């Protein structure tokens, strides 16, 4: 009898134009509601076969349900995707404005020329404005509370993580079919490197490998946040289906 329920549900969800995760979620939701209705009929004294048949009949024709769900998915997906894309574009523009454009226009430079230097290609300029040793500056900030203001420490450590968390969230939601951790890590690292190199050669900021690492960590945390929420929702639905 369970096969009848499974076949009915799969006839509805298998041909829907959505990703496998959404199909699985919908199948679990339909199965849960069907089982709830079957239990109601069993409590009324019907046999298991009668309860299943009446519950399926009550749900309606599978083809009609499939069309209805597809239309609902299309509307929902369109609204969600448009909203996410708008948010994603606004986020990227904000990042580029805050880290590049505003500094360039205001010339609020964090770039230094040591005495006796006047060219970006001089080794002394690179020594003071570029760091290629991973975590060196981060450790200096975290252990240098007596040398730096707290806001500077937070901005250059936790701030670099927090600012890229939305990137991981947006990519995980917008590119579900390819949004693996490796892809998000590579993209975040590339974007952060682009920003760091641009700041350096425009002489509006220092080139720091720590910023790239912390930015990338932030994007990874955003990805894990989305996946963690999805797993929690899925676990809740499974528990509800099992225990009612």
Tell me the per-residue pLDDT of 168-196, one tens digit each, with 9 for 90 and over. 999 999 998 778 999 999 999 999 999 99
In this prediction, residue 2 has a pLDDT band, given cuts at 50, 70 and 90, of low
* Count of other CB atoms within 10 angstroms of residue 100: 17
pLDDT: which is higher, 20 or 102: 102
Report the pLDDT averaged over residues 218-241: 86
Share of residues in the chain with pLDDT > 90 (%): 46
Q: Give start and end residues of each alpha helix (H) in 60-207.
A: 62-96, 102-106, 123-129, 136-142, 150-156, 158-162, 165-174, 181-201
Mind listing the pLDDT tens digit for each residue in 207-229? 999 999 999 999 999 999 999 99
The CA distance from 17 to 21, in Å, is 12
The CA distance from 84 to 92, in Å, is 12
Query: What rounded mean pLDDT belongs to the chain?
Result: 87
Report the pLDDT averaged over residues 34-59: 85
Share of residues in the chain with pLDDT > 70 (%): 96
pLDDT at residue number 97: 93
- Give this prediction's pTM: 0.77
């Amino acid at each position: 009898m369970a096969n009848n329920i499974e076949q009915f549900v799969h006839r509805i969800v298998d041909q829907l134009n959505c990703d496998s995760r959404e199909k699985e979620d919908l199948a679990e939701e339909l199965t849960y509601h069907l089982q709830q209705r079957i239990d109601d009929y069993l409590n009324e004294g019907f046999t298991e076969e009668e309860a299943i048949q009446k519950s399926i009949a009550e749900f309606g024709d599978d083809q009609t349900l499939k069309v209805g769900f597809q239309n609902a998915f299309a509307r929902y997906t369109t609204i969600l995707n448009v909203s996410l894309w708008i948010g994603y574009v606004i986020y990227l523009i904000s990042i580029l404005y805050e880290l590049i454009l505003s500094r360039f226009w205001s010339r609020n430079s964090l770039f230094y020329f040591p005495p006796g230097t006047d060219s970006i290609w001089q080794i002394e300029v690179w020594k003071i404005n570029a760091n290629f040793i991973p975590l060196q500056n981060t450790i200096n900030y975290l252990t240098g509370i007596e040398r730096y203001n707290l806001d500077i420490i937070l901005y250059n450590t936790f701030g670099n993580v927090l600012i890229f968390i939305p990137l991981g969230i947006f990519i995980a939601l917008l590119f579900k079919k390819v949004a693996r951790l490796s892809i998000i890590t590579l993209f975040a690292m590339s974007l952060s490197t682009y920003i760091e190199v641009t700041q350096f050669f425009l002489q509006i900021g220092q080139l720091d490998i720590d910023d790239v690492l912390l930015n990338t960590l932030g994007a990874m945390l955003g990805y894990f946040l989305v996946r963690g929420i999805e797993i929690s929702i899925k676990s809740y639905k499974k528990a509800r289906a099992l225990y009612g």
